[in-house]
Structure 1
Amino acid sequence: MFTLIGDIVGSRKIADRAAAQQAISAALNRVNEAIDTAQPLEPTLGDEVQGGFTTVADATLAALLINLELSPDIEMRFGLGKGDVTVHDSSRHPLLQDGPGWWTAREAISTLEGRRGTWYVGPSEENPPPALVNAFLLARDALVARLSDRQQRMLLLSFQGRSQREIAATEKISQSAVSQAFAKGVRAAHDAQLTFGKA
């Protein structure tokens, strides 16, 4: 299973932590509806979230969608892993579990050393190999970080299947403005993620 662990960047600086946790839970629910999960995304202890996926593409997309679903003042970083997972108690939530899948995701998030972003740790013989996955994640996250808040909303809407005309109506701007935003990075971020999913 491809595993995901996320935690809040700068959580101690958030004034209303209860509201932040509610926003994160709502974002996880929306992402769970958008992506097929092997193990649904759910909050855990210590400002963290976790979930499991059948493909690395779905795991990378989930990390991106969570951040796009959240308001700009709440940002998460993500560690992705690959390996077997053992659930010791399925009646508990969060699930009581461990195994190499979670150990590698923990190693990945530790590699970030507090920095924003997404990182993957998996078997070197995996296809695609971890180095290739991380090259994609570095480029994708840097591109998304350069988008304005509005452009990031457009990116989220594009992943939801909205047309440029529908995005213009939602944002109350002209279709030409949406087209310009797509040309300045929204389309590249969208298409890069979808192309990676086909690799």
Structure 2
Amino acid sequence: MFYCAIIGDIIGSRKLEDRQEVQTKFLAMAEKANKLYQSEIASPFTVTIGDEFQVLLKCSHVAPKVIDFVKREMASVELVFGVGIGEIVTDINPKLAIGMDGPAFHFARNAIEQAKKKKPKIIYKSDSAGMCMINSLNYFIESCTERRTKRQKQVLEYLRQDLTQEAIAHELGIKQQSVSDIIKLSYLSEVEDAKRTISFYLKDIDHCKK
């Protein structure tokens, strides 16, 4: 059976003035994520080396949602992720994501080391086809999101909370057309299309590897 290993790391964590606060926030995030994605997790979020953490998922198509959740919850710090898809050759540890071995973790380790050196900050690796496409799409998504202004991020957060454009306009004291223009300039549609394509590829991999 194939699994999806995710290894994440906080960039420059040792230089953070509020490192203890960040670590406390991470532990709270991990507990929340382990509950939210309980049915999808084979081995839960676990802090490993320094400020690295890892989790083992049952299916790879869940990885983008899990990573997006971590990024939202830990928005105050810069993160990198390595995602590996492959077999686990040891017994699965259902309590901690440590003490396991196999290609899934080897790919994830290789991926995060690459992500620490160059973009994108989320890299997928596997012996399956489609990894180059997925990583190229992640690069595109990252480039679009990094260009977003504070106002664009604010509007998109309201959208994520299911507010209508009219409600957002009222909240910000601007016209509805201005909200629409802000959304277009944030490349939301293009980013969502890229995310759907990644999900399609990962679901196909999950189907083929069953």
Question: What pairs with 1:31-42 in structure 2 (closer than 5 Å)?
Answer: 31-32=33-34, 33=36, 37-39=40-42, 41-42=44-45
What SS does structure 1 have at the residue aligned with 2:87? coil
Question: What pairs with 1:77-92 in structure 2 (closer than 5 Å)?
Answer: 77-85=80-88, 86-87=90-91, 89-91=93-95
Letter paired with 1:148: T
Gaps of 5+ in 1: none
Aligned residues: 192
Match of 2:78 in 1: 75
Is the alpha carbon distance of 1:35 and 1:149 closer, same or farther for their aligned partners in structure 2, counting shifts above 3 Å? farther
What SS does structure 2 have at the residue aligned with 1:137? helix
What SS does structure 1 have at the residue aligned with 2:137? helix
Q: Distance in 1 between matches of 2:93 and 2:25?
A: 27
Is the alpha carbon distance of 1:77 and 1:166 closer, same or farther for their aligned partners in structure 2, counting shifts above 3 Å? farther
Match of 1:96 in 2: 99
Is the alpha carbon distance of 1:131 and 1:36 closer, same or farther for their aligned partners in structure 2, counting shifts above 3 Å? farther
Match of 2:184 in 1: 183
What SS does structure 1 have at the residue aligned with 2:148? coil
Q: Distance in 1 between matches of 2:32 and 2:73?
A: 8
Q: Does 1:144 align with 2:145?
A: yes
Contact kept in structure 2, 1:140 and 1:192, CA below 8 Å? yes
Is the alpha carbon distance of 1:2 and 1:50 closer, same or farther for their aligned partners in structure 2, counting shifts above 3 Å? same
Q: Distance in 1 between matches of 2:179 and 2:143?
A: 21
What SS does structure 2 have at the residue aligned with 1:110? helix
Is the alpha carbon distance of 1:88 and 1:31 closer, same or farther for their aligned partners in structure 2, counting shifts above 3 Å? closer
Match of 2:115 in 1: 112
Question: What pairs with 1:118-197 in structure 2 (closer than 5 Å)?
Answer: 118-123=122-127, 126-127=128-129, 129-152=130-153, 154-155=155-156, 158=159, 160=160, 162-165=162-165, 168=168, 172-173=171-172, 174=174, 175-184=176-185, 185-197=187-199
Over aligned residues, Cα RMSD in angstroms? 3.1
Q: Does 1:57 align with 2:61?
A: yes
Q: Deviation at 1:42?
A: 1.5
When normalised by structure 2's length, the TM-score is 0.74
Contact kept in structure 1, 2:80 and 2:116, CA below 8 Å? no
Is the alpha carbon distance of 1:198 and 1:67 closer, same or farther for their aligned partners in structure 2, counting shifts above 3 Å? same
Q: Provide the identity percentage.
A: 24
Letter paired with 1:25: L
Contact kept in structure 2, 1:77 and 1:118, CA below 8 Å? yes
Which structure has the greater CA radius of gyration?
2
Is the alpha carbon distance of 1:14 and 1:82 closer, same or farther for their aligned partners in structure 2, counting shifts above 3 Å? same
Q: Deviation at 1:183?
A: 0.6
Is the alpha carbon distance of 1:65 and 1:90 closer, same or farther for their aligned partners in structure 2, counting shifts above 3 Å? closer
Is the alpha carbon distance of 1:150 and 1:12 closer, same or farther for their aligned partners in structure 2, counting shifts above 3 Å? farther
Gaps of 5+ in 2: 202-210
When normalised by structure 1's length, the TM-score is 0.78
Contact kept in structure 2, 1:4 and 1:50, CA below 8 Å? yes
Is the alpha carbon distance of 1:168 and 1:134 closer, same or farther for their aligned partners in structure 2, counting shifts above 3 Å? same
Deviations 1:37-93 (CA, angstroms, capped at 9, x unpaired):
23365141211121233443321332233223323x3111000101122346544x3
